[in-house]
């Protein structure tokens, strides 16, 4: 099994009461609450944690993209990937991902990724996402165009990386007279493509069709298992076997000396992530057209309201959204969940919500020394269907 250190880079100095008063940490939470002196400290602290992950033997470090939110300070993740390109010496650098539909010229992303891939001499993992619904409020891009723009942008980027330029691209949403980016990617034919999603069937089936690595975002493990089974089934229909190397589970793990201590240390910070930084009204999360009409019908308002209800750290542990405990507990849960869901990579948010630097480092160290080595010997097995 492979372990990546996934950082959300939250604005951890946020007064959480302000998030409650605003109703969300996204889009409408005034940036007068952002203090650049504290922000600068946090950026450096978080980048240090990424470099620490590299030294501890994590297989990769992960950044991602979100806009106008205290949830994460990474509107341009390539800046941070660039900052890490020379200081992270060994680990892969995964951007999971850039939100393709939000840009007006996808070549910007083809160029940015190619630069990082050159700088790291081929250690980039290229993530492509649509961005969550809030992004469409934040950027003004029409949510109804999200799918179509994603696919056009994806096609243009892959062609830009694999076909000699210049050539012309003419789609419905993108019209580019000269597709001819310099530089081209270091890895051939192009960097590995990973597709993070909240579990949309069309995305899972498309990722399987493209043979891209599918990453499941924070979800209960039973759901994760179902989505991964969906990927394997789609692969089978397409005539191939999808192994664990195609599937990555994005979670949070927190390891301490005892179960009781781990829960006590992690609890307020997990709850800050889940109940404050992730909080948003349905209208913000799912603008019209972001999902298909049929899936919007299936997601009844009642169900959504339920999913937006505050959850305790104990709820999150119980549902297998996160793993928290002693080294022994962490090992047991991870082995159990791996068997259930059949993933080959875990994208671990070792820092979450307001978790401070000392606890983050202690957590990373304990995971790297007491938990991960137990999963290095064997190749991960596919889930028992």
Partner 1 sequence: MVAPKPSEITVRGCRVNLLRAGQGEPLLYLHGASGGGIWQPFHDKLAERFDVLAPEHPGWGKSDTPDWLDTIGDLAYFYLDFLKQMNLRRVHLVGLSVGGWIAAEIAVRSTERLKSLTLVSAAGLFVKGVPQVDTFLQSDEARLRDFFHDRTLADRLIGQVLSPQLADIALKNRFTTARLIWQPRGYNPHLHKWLHRIDVPTLLIWGASDMLLPPPFGQEYNRLIPGSRLVVLPECGHLPNIEKVDRFVDEIGGFAAGVAA
Which residues of this protein are in contact with partner 1, per CB under 8 A?
27-28, 136-137, 140-144, 281-284, 287-289, 293, 296-297
The distance of closest approach from Cβ of residue 221 to partner 1 in the complex, given in angstroms and rounded to an integer, is 31
Rounded to whole angstroms, how far apart are CA atoms 131 and 122? 25
Q: Closest CB to partner 1 among 143 and 181? A: 143
Q: Closest CB to partner 1 among 137 and 190? A: 137
Q: Closest CB to partner 1 among 22 and 180? A: 22
For tokens 């999971």, what's the residue? Answer: 96
Q: Closest CB to partner 1 among 163 and 283? A: 283
Which residues make beta-bridge pairs with 23? none
Contacts of 179 by beta carbon, 8 Å cutoff, 6+ apart: 107, 156, 159, 160, 165, 166, 167, 168, 169
Q: Closest CB to partner 1 among 53 and 280? A: 280
Q: Closest CB to partner 1 among 57 and 281? A: 281
Rounded to whole angstroms, how far apart are CA atoms 65 and 79? 11
Q: Closest CB to partner 1 among 162 and 292? A: 292
Tell me the backbone φ, ψ of residue 378, rounded to 5 degrees. Answer: -95, 150
The distance of closest approach from Cβ of residue 101 to partner 1 in the complex, given in angstroms and rounded to an integer, is 12
The distance of closest approach from Cβ of residue 147 to partner 1 in the complex, given in angstroms and rounded to an integer, is 12
The distance of closest approach from Cβ of residue 136 to partner 1 in the complex, given in angstroms and rounded to an integer, is 8
The distance of closest approach from Cβ of residue 306 to partner 1 in the complex, given in angstroms and rounded to an integer, is 16
Q: Closest CB to partner 1 among 82 and 281? A: 281
Contact 133, 287 (CB under 8 A): yes
The distance of closest approach from Cβ of residue 284 to partner 1 in the complex, given in angstroms and rounded to an integer, is 6
Task: Name which of 323, 312, 313, 285 is nearest 301 in CA terms.
Answer: 285
The distance of closest approach from Cβ of residue 349 to partner 1 in the complex, given in angstroms and rounded to an integer, is 28
Q: Closest CB to partner 1 among 175 and 376? A: 175
The distance of closest approach from Cβ of residue 153 to partner 1 in the complex, given in angstroms and rounded to an integer, is 17
Rounded to whole angstroms, how far apart are CA atoms 93 and 115? 12
The distance of closest approach from Cβ of residue 138 to partner 1 in the complex, given in angstroms and rounded to an integer, is 11
Both structure tokens of 212:
């891209």
Contacts 24+ apart (CB under 8 A), 289-293: 289/142, 289/143, 289/144, 289/145, 289/146, 290/130, 290/133, 290/136, 290/143, 290/144, 290/146, 291/200, 292/147, 292/202
How far is CA 284 from its chain centroid?
19
Task: Name which of 223, 219, 237, 246 is nearest 340 in CA terms.
Answer: 223
Task: Name which of 382, 249, 282, 218 is nearest 23 in CA terms.
Answer: 282
* Rounded alpha-carbon distances, angstroms, from residue 262 to 198, 235, 268, 319, 361: 27, 39, 11, 17, 14
Rounded to whole angstroms, how far apart are CA atoms 310 and 19? 14
Which residues make beta-bridge pairs with 251? 348
């Amino acid at each position: 099994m492979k372990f990546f250190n996934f950082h959300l880079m939250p604005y951890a100095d946020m007064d959480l009461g302000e998030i409650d008063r605003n109703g969300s940490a996204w889009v409408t939470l005034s940036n007068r609450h952002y203090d650049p002196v504290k922000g600068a400290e946090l950026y450096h602290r978080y980048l240090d944690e990424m470099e620490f992950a590299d030294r501890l033997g994590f297989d990769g470090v992960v950044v991602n993209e979100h806009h106008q939110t205290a949830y994460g300070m990474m509107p341009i993740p390539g800046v941070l990937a660039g900052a890490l390109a020379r200081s992270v010496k060994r680990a892969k650098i995964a951007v999971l991902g850039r939100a393709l539909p939000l840009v007006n010229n996808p070549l910007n992303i083809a160029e940015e990724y190619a630069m990082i891939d050159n700088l790291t001499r081929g250690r980039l993992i290229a993530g492509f996402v649509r961005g969550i619904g809030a992004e469409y409020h934040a950027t003004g891009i029409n949510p109804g165009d999200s799918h179509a723009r994603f696919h056009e942008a994806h096609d243009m980027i892959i062609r830009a990386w694999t076909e000699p330029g210049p050539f012309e691209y003419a789609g419905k949403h993108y019209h580019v007279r000269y597709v001819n980016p310099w530089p081209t990617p270091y890895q051939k034919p192009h960097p590995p493509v990973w597709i993070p999603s909240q579990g949309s069937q069309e995305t899972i089936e498309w990722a399987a069709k493209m043979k891209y690595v599918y990453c499941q975002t924070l979800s209960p493990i039973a759901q994760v298992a179902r989505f991964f089974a969906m990927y394997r089934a789609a692969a089978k229909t397409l005539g191939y076997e999808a192994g664990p190397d195609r599937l990555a589970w994005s979670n949070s793990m927190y390891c301490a000396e005892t179960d009781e201590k781990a829960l006590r240390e992690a609890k307020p910070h997990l709850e800050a992530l889940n109940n404050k930084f992730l909080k948003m009204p349905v209208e913000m999360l799912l603008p019209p057209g972001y999902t298909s009409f049929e899936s919007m019908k299936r997601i009844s308002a009642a169900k959504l309201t339920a999913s937006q209800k505050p959850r305790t750290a104990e709820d999150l542990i119980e549902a297998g959204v996160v793993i928290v405990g002693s080294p022994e507990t962490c090992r047991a849960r991870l082995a159990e969940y791996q068997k259930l869901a059949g993933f080959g990579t875990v994208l671990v948010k070792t820092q979450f919500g307001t978790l401070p630097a000392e606890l983050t480092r202690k957590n990373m160290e304990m995971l790297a020394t007491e938990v991960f080595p137990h999963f290095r010997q064997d190749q991960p097995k596919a889930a028992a269907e």
